[in-house]
Amino acid sequence: MDARAIRTIMDIQAMQTLGSVQSYASGQDTTSSLFSMMINDFLYGTSSDVSSTESLPFQSFGMLGGLQSMNSLQYTGPTSVYFPEGLQTVISTSMGTNRESATGRNDFSDYIQRAAEIYRLPENLITSVIKQESNFNSTAVSGAGAMGLMQLMPGTAKLLGVKDGFDPEQNIMGGAKYLRQMLDQFGNVEMALAAYNAGPGNVRKYGGIPPFKETEQYVSKVLNYYNRFEI
């Protein structure tokens, strides 16, 4: 949950407390209960206990003069707790920013798992390369002619024994095999990814990640996906 969602919820809590004619101790307990109910109802999908809800007194607001209670303003919507418009979107969005599933990965999960076992690679690494290379589009073709999920160049695909670069299984197996070769050759993930993107010749030439903006961003993005994706 990010700062905007927390601040919105705290504002709601503060408004529930303003003008209350309850004693401080009683008002604090009531506000806390309402606040807890609201959070539990949204985050865990649990309905608040009816008996405990009905036992909570409605707060009076002296600043409203004629209004002696909040009974006339009682929320009667479909959920047990009222959420202001937009709050659910803010909370849902913020809760999903830390980790994410690789959208579309499950369509190829068997191939990814098998390739990871054969070539001794983390499944997440293969998944992250696919995400960056083609966003899980098995029919993707780059301007340079790279094909499929892991964007194999025709010449590279032929050397790897890939007959159909658009076949998901062949493409993943070929891409994972090439990634394993780069890891064996350069000894670490960053340089292997750089070689996958810019070619092993450029990595050897510069003694590390080549000073190409595209390659630097490529390595950074793949590693970012690797840390975010759930298996």
Q: Which residues are catalytic?
A: 133
Classify residue 203 by burial, with Cβ atoms within 10 Å: 0-12, 13-18, 19+. Answer: buried
DSSP codes joined into one string, the chain:
--HHHHHHHHHHHHHHHTT--S-HHHHHHHHHHHHHHHHHHHHH-PPPPHHHHHTSPPPP-GGGTT---SGGG---SSSSS---TTHHHHHHHHHTSS-EE-TTGGGGHHHHHHHHHHHT--HHHHHHHHHHHHTT-TT-B-TT--BTTTTB-HHHHHHTT-S-TTSHHHHHHHHHHHHHHHHHHHSSHHHHHHHHHH-HHHHHHHTSS-S-HHHHHHHHHHHHHHHHEE-
